[in-house]
Structure 1
Amino acid sequence: MTMVHQRRLDGPDGRWGEMMRHARALIGAGAAAAVATWWFTDSAPYPYSQRWLLDLPLPFLTLRRLDRVLRAREGERILEIGPGTGLQSLHVAPQLGPDGRLDIVDVQPEMLDHVGRRAKERGIDNIVPSCTDAHELPYADDSFDAAYLVTALGEIPDPTRTLAELRRVLKPFGRLVVGEFFDRHQIRPSTLIALAEEAGLRVARLYGPPFAYYAVLRPIGA
């Protein structure tokens, strides 16, 4: 085979280029199908049978951006509401070190068990699950340095009550991160600001566009 013919096969106008274009088209179609499936099967909360949807990466709500807004530190105690399959839990918990702890709350024991199995496989032993309702958190006042919810607050029947509970269990200078993505349950930024004020919190910063944002909340007066 001559070098000229080889370049034709490997170049953008050869068969290899054509194959790559088809591959990209298929990937794009697959992503679109996944998004469509996620939208039309969206329920609150996600049933365990649809857990694979919770591992789909969402634009703007990346782990890197979560790190930027949550600022987890070694030795801290942090609370996560609605961990799902542990996409965020398994990322945050190791950052807390052996003296830190991540408490996770979910109403579905299957989800908590799933996170526990994945944590064990990775050698993570500082995640403590609690199967309970986010409307009444089983923790003492001022227990946590930080808390976060990613695509979970809008699925809770009474988000104001949950925010008030989070305000109660946060330390006076604690921080709360809320991540919301555009779906049927999304809490828009303007609505979050109003709900937060009712719960004794203020939205200190917003990161990302309105359809996929992280918000950093602080206790009013902190």
Structure 2
Amino acid sequence: MTVLTARRTRWGLAAAGGAAAAAWWFGDRAPYPYTQRGLLDIPLPYLTCAGLDEVLRPRPGERILEIGPGTGLQSLHVAPQLGPVGRLDVVDIQPEMLDHVTRRAEERGITTITATESDARTLPFAEETFDAVYLVTALGEIPEPERVLSEAARVLAPAGRLVVGEFFDRHWIPFGRLHRLADASGLHFEVRRGPTLAYLARFQPCRSTHPVPVPA
């Protein structure tokens, strides 16, 4: 192979790789299509279930809301930690995703997950219903994320907590922007785990004067 041919081959491979990346980037749709659900079961760096536990701190007896559960990667991990009297509500605009989570929960004998089809911008719950709300790689897929955060703040108990997980893709929300949106929604920042390209961040309603208890 001549030097010129080798260069042309490398350029061709680079162009093909760039085209594939562009197809992935611009073809990434929201909400995430159910037909591509297999990818949702792959843990992302810094957004692992162990990382979520560290930031969310689920406890027995709590009622927690997950917005955009996908295929239930986090749901099936969090729900058992709430114990027999706790409850995990999952909300999604796609009934196929909710049915998938429900089937997986039944297969594992988990009976404390309740699925509700709803737009996250108008949650069908009363004020101060939940001890915690979390979204993992879901906020950026929803139009008007500021409305989602305002609704999360509305349904949180005064000492509740909101956890947002974001990963770099077309719908990624940088931490700086999230911080500003949370401030505008009456949520103050507490802690972040991971860099801005892949992070979990916890917020608490500003009206609360009670810190989140730290387990011993």
Asked if TM exceeds 0.5, the reply is: yes
- Measure the CA separation in 2 of the matches of 1:159 and 1:39: 20
Separation in 1, partners of 2:102, 2:207: 37
Q: For residue 189 of structure 1, what is the aligned residue in structure 2? A: 175
Residue 18 of structure 1 corresponds to: none
Contact 2:26 2:170 in 1 (8 A): no
Give the aligned partner of residue 61 of structure 2: 75
Ranges in structure 1 where 5+ consecutive residues have no aligned partner: 1-31
- Structure 1 residue corresponding to 2:163, chosen from 166, 171, 177: 177
| Bigger-Rg structure (1/2) | 1
Hey, what does 2:8 align to over in structure 1?
none
Alignment match, 1:149: 135
User: What pairs with 1:68-217 in structure 2 (closer than 5 Å)?
Assistant: 68-217=54-203
Is the CA contact (8 Å cut-off) linking 2:141 and 2:171 kept in structure 1? yes
Per-residue Cα deviation, 1:52-104 (whole angstroms, up to 9, x for no partner): 11112211111001000010000000000000000000000000011000000
Per the alignment, in what secondary structure is the counterpart of residue 133 of structure 1?
coil
Matches of 1:124 and 1:130, distance apart in 2: 16
Q: How many residues align?
A: 189
1:96-118 per-residue CA deviation (whole Å, 9 max, x = no partner) reads 01100000000000000000000
Task: Flag as ranges the 4+ runs of structure 1 deviating above 6 A.
Answer: none
Q: Secondary structure at the match of 2:69?
A: coil
Aligned partner of residue 67 in structure 1, secondary structure? helix
In 2, distance between residues paired with 1:148 and 1:43?
Answer: 21
3-state SS of the aligned residue for 1:92?
Answer: helix
Deviation, 1:38, is 5.8
Question: How big is the shift at 1:190?
Answer: 0.5
Q: Is the CA contact 1:206–1:213 (under 8 Å) kept in the aligned structure 2? A: yes
Aligned-pair CA distance for 1:194: 0.6
Aligned to 1:60: 46
Q: Do the aligned partners of 1:200 and 1:219 also contact (CA within 8 Å) in 2? A: yes
Task: List per-residue Cα deviations over 1:150-184 (Å, max 9, x = no partner).
Answer: 00000110110110000000000100100000011
Distance of 1:38 and 1:205 partners within structure 2: 31
SS of the residue corresponding to residue 59 of structure 1 reads coil
Percent identity for Structure 1 against Structure 2: 65
C-alpha RMSD of matched pairs (Å): 1.5
Helix, strand or coil at the partner of 2:204: strand
Task: Specify the code of the residue in structure 2 equivalent to 1:80.
Answer: E
Aligned 8 A contact 1:38 1:53 in 2: no
Q: What is the Cα deviation at residue 39 of structure 1? A: 4.5
**CA offset at residue 41 of structure 1?**
3.9
